[in-house]
Amino acid sequence: MNMMSEAAVEKALDQKMNDASYKMIGKDVSVYYGEKRALFDVNLNVRENTVTALIGPSGCGKSTFLRCLNRMNDTIENCRVTGRITLDTDDIYDQNIDVVELRARVGMVFQKPNPFPKSIYENISYGPRIHGLARNKTDMDQIVEASLQRAGLWTEVKDRLHESGTGLSGGQQQRLCIARAVAVSPEVILMDEPCSALDPIATAKVEELIHELRANYTIVIVTHSMQQAARVSQRTAMFHLGQLVEENDTDKMFTNPDDQRTQDYIMGRFG
Amino acid sequence: MSTSLILLIVAMVGLAGYVIGARRSLAVGGGLSSKLHSRPGYYGSFVAVWAIVPAVFVLFIWLVASPTYISSSIRGAFPDEVKAQSEAEQGLAFGMITSIARGMNVLSLEEIDRVGSNPVDLRSALGAKGVPLAGDPQPYMVEAAGNLNTMTYASRLAMTAAVLAISGLGAAFAYRQIAPRFRARNRVEKVILVSLVVASSIAILTTVGIVLSMLTEATRFFTHVPAWEFFFGTVWDPRFAAAGSGGSEGQFGLIPLLLGTLYIGFVAMLFAVPIGLFSAIYMAEYASPKVRSVAKPLLEVLAGIPTIVYGFFALTTVGPFLRDLSSQLNGLVTGDYSNFIQAQSVLTAGFVMGIMLIPYVSSLSDDIITAVPRALRDGSLGLGATRSETIKRVILPAALPGIVGALLMTASRAVGETMIVVLAAGVAARIQLNPFEPMTTVTVKIVNQLTGDLEFTSPQTLVAFALGITLFAITLCLNIYALYIVRKYREQYE
């Protein structure tokens, strides 16, 4: 891909983003941990083929919101979610929605790289296997290769696919986890501070990867780094004390935010 | 002064030393503990250690050494004709002397005067005070008893003085060392370190001692019976060896006992492993915290039941139940109402032992399963795996080495179990494979060989030690292998 066409692709994507309907719509989302309320009536929509960054000081509820999007909060005791979240047109908290199916459509990458203590190959093939995405060994090999290639890890690991995934470096492990998420062909990928445990070089690689993944997936990323939000995202949402302060184009957010609190946070005056 | 009183005084000196030392350190630091190298408590402890440790050390040396010294000097003063007698008779004479000496302490001064040197009167006088003598004391014995009392008294006096002096001197020495830059903390911590080392070496030395004692007895056994006859013999028939009967030749084949042990252990694991593992998985992955907080302690209560209780549960309930069940089944199928399961059988013992082992399996496995990092669970669930897929494909494989280790530890418990087998599987040492028939284990035979009127020189008794050391070797190997596996597994997440 040369420079011209890359720019063209970017432009096309941006166009698509602006035209796009919302991939996920969150309406009046509130979350309670036991008696404590962690989110207050958040209304936030996620656009298709867009990287949406969630920023805000620690404990502001951005990770909580992220985990609502594929119901990972279900695994926490005493956690209660109210409001309505839709994926395309399906209410994901509806009785009829199978949470397993939902998580296959909305994948997740965690803060700390968490490869399974299995081989690299098995780490990738785990998801496709449980969802029956491969008809035979050849299919599976293709899925594994394609996923690793998408995650930019193929050339680094193709000769040691059957070595343990835990033996990789931190950055490689995180890209393995991204490849693992990609392998089940989700529509949305959620990332919870995916670079917080990585060094700058590995971070740069993962950021580049996120940028490329945008073409095929809708991405929501929680980050503590303003620069990272500015680099990888097109839309940014700012949380504070469990409330959504502002949601806007990233460019506007970092140059001329509507809300004073956003300005203060971005300028480093609190948080 | 009695030993406990001396100890009490030394402790008081130490306590006082602690208080004074702590105060003194504050005083030399000008009232500010920040000026001191260590916190005042360490200076206090330093003084207390010096007041207590050397004094107690001397006390114990003295308590051990002085009776030996006194006894040898009394024996040295025996008349020549006594010295010419055998060692055993000299020992008897010395025993009588100590009795007389103890008796003379009970008698009042006038009574001693009245009895004078008449040994026969002495015996009756002592008898009236509740100190019986084995025979009429001879004059030299009365004299030696007097000496013994004097020496004991002098030794005790000297000991009291020495110990108290050392305690005081130690405290004073330590007190004078106190200075702002004096490193009391380092010294005290070294003392603590040494005491920790001593404590752990006592445990290790005990193990070594037990093994050595078993080894020496076992080698004595192997002088009577060749090792290969023991390890590869297929008949267990030790005959009797009552004291004095001289003992007849028996056969000491280990194989039937070993087979019984392994067979019963295997049946027990057959019951315990699936039930224990499933309950561990339920507790760790599915149970709500409420259920878990009630069910887990309840399950662990099972582990607190004494095994003898399981034993009579087997004897009075499970055994007869299985026997009756088998006769009913037999009757329904063939019309012949005879039972094919004996009340005492491998099955009964294995089943009840399995129940006993459930809490071990489940509790150990539960700990190991919960130790699997939450991140792995989330990772799998986040990919759209169901709970059961997550458990089967991620958590159990990750926990497997630890679980295997836990199972090996449980197996070594099963191998060492005695009481249940005695009551539930009988004492018949046989080689056979029918789980409905009685068999017996190594531990049961050890108990058998060591109960009753014994002669510790016959192979019939000594075989118990050979059995013991064999069993020890088996469980030791199982435990070491289990520890090795568990440790290897731990490294994965660190």
CA–CA distance, A247 with B64 (Å, rounded to integer): 85
More confidently predicted of B456 and A167: A167
Q: Are residues B249 and B152 in the same domain?
A: no
For position B44, what pLDDT does the model report?
92
pLDDT tens by residue, B247-281: 456 788 888 899 999 999 999 999 999 999 999 99
For A3-26, what is the mean pLDDT?
Answer: 71
Chain A positions in Cβ-Cβ contact with residue B393 (cut-off 8 Å): 126, 130
CA–CA distance, A240 with B416 (Å, rounded to integer): 62
Nearest residue in chain A measured CA to CA from B379:
A114
Contact assignment for A100 to B383 by CB distance below 8 Å: no
CB B306 within 8 A of CB B395: no
pTM (predicted TM-score): 0.73
pLDDT tens by residue, A151-204: 888 999 989 999 888 889 888 999 999 999 989 989 999 999 888 888 888 888
B56: tokens are 């107690």
Contact assignment for B382 to A70 by CB distance below 8 Å: yes
For position A58, what pLDDT does the model report?
86
Q: What percent of chain B has pLDDT over 70?
A: 95
Q: Is the pLDDT of residue A1 over 60?
A: no
Q: Which of B375, B384, B389 sits opposite A112 (nearest CB)?
A: B375
For position B278, what pLDDT does the model report?
94
Which residue among B138, B157, B181 closes a domain? B181
For B81-85, what is the mean pLDDT?
Answer: 79
Question: pLDDT tier at B82 (50, 70, 90 boundaries)?
Answer: confident
Chain A positions in Cβ-Cβ contact with residue B378 (cut-off 8 Å): 72, 75, 108, 110, 114
Q: Is residue B226 part of a domain?
A: no
Mutation to test the A interface, candidates B288, B376, B378, B383, most A Cβ within 10 Å: B383
Contact assignment for B384 to A127 by CB distance below 8 Å: yes
Question: pLDDT tier at B98 (50, 70, 90 boundaries)?
Answer: confident
Q: Is residue B363 part of a domain?
A: yes
Which residue among B140, B160, B181 closes a domain? B181
For position B119, what pLDDT does the model report?
65
For position B489, what pLDDT does the model report?
65
Contact assignment for B289 to A77 by CB distance below 8 Å: yes
Chain B positions in Cβ-Cβ contact with residue A103 (cut-off 8 Å): 381-384
pLDDT tens by residue, A210-259: 988 888 899 999 998 888 999 999 999 999 989 999 898 998 888 888 88
pLDDT tens by residue, B382-429: 888 888 999 998 898 888 888 888 898 899 888 888 888 888 888 888
Give the distance from residue A168's alpha carbon to the nearest chain B alpha carbon, in angstroms.
Answer: 13
Give the distance from residue B388's alpha carbon to the nearest chain A alpha carbon, in angstroms.
Answer: 11
Closest CA to B290 of A31, A174, A209, A77: A77
Q: Are residues B266 and B406 in the same domain?
A: yes
CA–CA distance, B334 with B253 (Å, rounded to integer): 39
For B288-313, what is the mean pLDDT?
Answer: 87
Contact assignment for A130 to B398 by CB distance below 8 Å: no
Nearest residue in chain A measured CA to CA from B394:
A116
Cβ-Cβ contacts under 8 Å for B349 (sequence gap 6 or more): B264, B267, B268, B314, B420, B421, B424, B425
Q: In the beta sheet, which residues pair with residue A235?
A: A52, A249
Chain B positions in Cβ-Cβ contact with residue A177 (cut-off 8 Å): 379
Question: pLDDT tier at B439 (50, 70, 90 boundaries)?
Answer: confident
Q: Is residue B319 part of a domain?
A: yes
For position B76, what pLDDT does the model report?
84
Q: Which amino acid is at B221?
A: F
Least confident of B92-101, B366-375, B447-456: B447-456
For position B425, what pLDDT does the model report?
84
Which residue among B134, B165, B181 closes a domain? B181
Does the beta carbon of B382 lie under 8 angstroms from any beta carbon of chain A? yes
Q: Is the pLDDT of residue B243 over 70?
A: no
pLDDT tens by residue, B360-381: 999 989 988 998 888 889 899 9
- Select the CATH number that applies to the domain covering A22-97+108-266 from these four: 3.30.230.10, 3.50.50.60, 3.40.367.20, 3.40.50.300: 3.40.50.300
Torsional class of B239: left (φ above 0), alpha (ψ -120 to 50), beta (otherwise): left
Does the beta carbon of B441 lie under 8 angstroms from any beta carbon of chain A? no
In a 10 Å sphere around its CB, with 0-12 CB exposed, 13-18 middle and 19+ buried, how is residue B205 labelled?
exposed
Q: Is the pLDDT of residue A121 over 50?
A: yes
Sign, CA torsion A205/A211/A214/A216: negative
Q: Is the pLDDT of residue B69 over 80?
A: yes
Indicate the average pLDDT of chain B: 86
For position B79, what pLDDT does the model report?
82
Q: Are residues B17 and B131 in the same domain?
A: yes
Q: Are residues B103 and B252 in the same domain?
A: no
Contact assignment for A116 to B377 by CB distance below 8 Å: no
For position B263, what pLDDT does the model report?
92
CATH number at residue B388: 1.10.3720.10
Q: Is residue B196 part of a domain?
A: no
Chain A positions in Cβ-Cβ contact with residue B376 (cut-off 8 Å): 114, 116-117
pLDDT tens by residue, B171-223: 999 999 888 888 889 999 999 999 999 999 999 999 899 999 989 989 988 88
Full residue range of the structural domain in which residue B314 is found: 236-490
For position B241, what pLDDT does the model report?
52
Q: Are residues B125 and B244 in the same domain?
A: no
Domain count, chain B: 2
Give the distance from residue A252's alpha carbon to the nearest chain B alpha carbon, in angstroms.
Answer: 33
Does the beta carbon of A139 lie under 8 angstroms from any beta carbon of chain B? no
For position B118, what pLDDT does the model report?
67
Q: Is residue B207 part of a domain?
A: no
B275: tokens are 């039930």
Chain A positions in Cβ-Cβ contact with residue B398 (cut-off 8 Å): 116-117
Q: Are residues B173 and B32 in the same domain?
A: yes
Cβ-Cβ contacts under 8 Å for A238 (sequence gap 6 or more): A55, A56, A244, A245, A246, A247, A253, A257, A259, A261, A262, A265
pLDDT tens by residue, B309-345: 998 888 899 988 988 888 888 888 888 888 888 888 8
Q: List, as one string, the DSSP characters of A194-245.
A: TTTTS-HHHHHHHHHHHHHHTTT-EEEEE-S-HHHHHHH-SEEEEEETTEEE
Q: Are residues B145 and B289 in the same domain?
A: no
Domains in chain A: boundaries: 22-97+108-266
Q: Is residue B49 part of a domain?
A: yes
**Radius of gyration of chain B, Cα coordinates, nearest whole angstrom:** 33
Q: Is the pLDDT of residue A16 over 80?
A: no
Alpha helices in B235-373 (DSSP H): 255-281, 289-304, 307-313, 319-334, 346-370
Q: Are residues B124 and B261 in the same domain?
A: no
For position A233, what pLDDT does the model report?
92
Indicate the average pLDDT of chain A: 87
pLDDT tens by residue, A68-118: 998 988 888 888 899 999 998 888 888 888 888 899 899 999 988 999 988
